[in-house]
């Protein structure tokens, strides 16, 4: 390309820049001219054009589009998400549900996810039962339950800590049987 052709091309490009609507944002101008936002800002300064007076034209970035699509998907799957844990919901949505994400904020606002955090549902457990019974029902190590009991000041169980046997006196205690059955039902519902 000769110098003369280069100058003509530059002049033609400059005329294109001159005829733009300079009220628009640098991002909009950059997209229109197929250059970066920074290059549009530089051209605004080089040509002595005024600062933008309009907001962005609504051309959305890919990340914003993905965010909107994820929110729509979460809204559509709301009935299926109700009662799920965060990890399960993230798998279903095929999206991250970190604390600050817009999808997580939407789901928290709707109140569809489990409210507890952590590996074990401590808030659901009835600590009046012995650690051995809780370990069997919730499928958690007896030692882990005992450690949680002491660390969080839950206190001793109402019934003794002997392992449940059908022949024990506990087996015939109607209060114990009722609490035990309620706990088993709670654990069954939790696992579903």
Give the model's pLDDT for residue 166.
56
Give the model's pLDDT for residue 94.
84
State the pLDDT confidence band at 60, using cuts at 50, 70 and 90: low
Give the model's pLDDT for residue 116.
56
Count of H-run helices and E-run strands, the chain: 10, 0
Give the model's pLDDT for residue 131.
86
Residue 162 and residue 172 in contact, taking contact as beta carbons nearer than 8 Å: no
Give the model's pLDDT for residue 106.
87
Dump the DSSP string for 136-177.
Answer: HHHT--HHHHHHHHHHTT----SS--SPP-TTSGGGG-HHHH
State the pLDDT confidence band at 9, using cuts at 50, 70 and 90: confident
Residue 153 and residue 159 in contact, taking contact as beta carbons nearer than 8 Å: no
For residues 109-133, average pLDDT? 78
Q: Which residues 6+ apart lie within 8 Å of 86 measured at CB?
A: 97, 104, 113, 114
State the pLDDT confidence band at 16, using cuts at 50, 70 and 90: confident
Output the CA torsion sign for 93, 96, 98, 101. negative
Give the model's pLDDT for residue 50.
86
d(CA 187, CA 189) in angstroms, rounded, equals 5
128 pLDDT above the threshold of 70: yes
43 pLDDT above the threshold of 70: yes
Q: Tell me which of 128 and 122 has the higher pLDDT.
A: 128
For the chain, the 3-state helix, strand and coil shares in percent, each to the nearest 5, are 60, 0, 40
Q: Tell me which of 95-99, 175-179, 188-192 is least confident.
A: 188-192
State the pLDDT confidence band at 95, using cuts at 50, 70 and 90: confident
């Amino acid at each position: 390309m000769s110098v003369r052709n280069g100058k003509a091309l530059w002049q033609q490009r400059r005329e294109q820049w001159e005829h733009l609507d300079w009220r628009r944002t640098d991002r909009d101008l950059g997209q229109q001219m197929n250059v970066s936002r920074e290059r549009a800002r530089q051209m605004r300064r080089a040509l002595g054009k005024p600062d933008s007076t309009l907001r962005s034209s609504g051309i959305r970035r890919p990340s914003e589009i993905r965010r909107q699509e994820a929110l729509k998907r979460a809204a559509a799957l709301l009935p299926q998400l109700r009662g799920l844990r965060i990890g399960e919901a993230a798998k279903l949505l095929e999206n991250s549900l970190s604390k600050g994400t817009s999808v997580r904020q939407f789901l928290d606002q709707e109140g569809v996810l489990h409210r507890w955090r952590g590996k074990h549902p401590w808030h659901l457990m009835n600590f009046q039962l012995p650690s051995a019974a809780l370990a069997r029902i919730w499928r958690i190590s007896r030692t882990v339950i005992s450690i949680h009991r002491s660390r969080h000041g839950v206190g001793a169980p109402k019934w003794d800590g002997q392992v449940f046997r059908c022949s024990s006196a506990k087996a015939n205690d109607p209060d114990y049987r009722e609490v035990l059955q309620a706990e088993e039902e709670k654990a069954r519902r939790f696992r579903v």
